[in-house]
Amino acid sequence: MRRIILIGYMGSGKTTVGKALSKETGMMFYDLDWYIESRMRKTVAQIFAEKGEEGFRKIEHNMLHEVAEFENVIISCGGGTPCFFDNIDYINQQGEVVYLKATPEVLYRHLLMGKVERPLIKNKTPEELIAYITEQVAKREEFYNKARYTLDVSLMDNYEKIQLSVDQL
């Protein structure tokens, strides 16, 4: 039984890498944000608007425990998932955790290209956004760095071409 769990800041490519790994291995892919949305029948943005970040984190924590029960899967977490409750220690017990690490500049570029509505970064000017990302990544690295593996994705331009074999893990 194998379970690969991807963590990292918003825009680090967790979903894209997760899908690529799933294609390569045939293991099912679960994106925690999508799982939350389908279970709650609401978007992450709606949950934030209705219950605030604290409400969202509780739901995220509970849903994490649900997806982490599945076997032979690849799971991509939300950017904040490892940083609340005991989530990072829990996920480390559930599978092989990979931190997708990228510089704030790369994260910023990816986020500008993204189509998903991300409540924590909306309504920010480019300068505010880059400062916010830099500050948040600095705070969150304490949790991200607890992953068993770190993959620096800053130099990867085309995630579709990612040739990451799970045997390398």
User: Segment 44-63, which members bind ligand S3P (CB under 6 A)?
Assistant: 44
Q: Of 108-127, which residues contact ligand S3P (CB under 6 A)? A: 118-120
For residues 166 and 117, the answer to whether their CB atoms sit within 8 Å is no
* Nearest approach, Cβ of residue 120 and ligand S3P (Å): 5
Q: Is 79 in the site for ligand S3P (CB under 6 A)?
A: yes
Give the integer Cα–Cα distance in Å for 50 and 48: 6
- CB 79 to ligand S3P: min, Å: 3
Among 13, 18, 78, 95, binds ligand S3P (CB under 6 A): 78
Count, in order, helices (H) and strands (E) of the chain.
6, 5
Fill in the amino acid letter for 76.
Answer: S
Q: Which residues are annotated as a binding site for Mg(2+)?
A: 15
Name the residue nearer to ligand S3P (CB basis): 12 or 26. 12
Residues 6+ apart with CB under 8 A from 24: 164, 165, 166
Site for ligand S3P in 127-146 (CB under 6 A): none
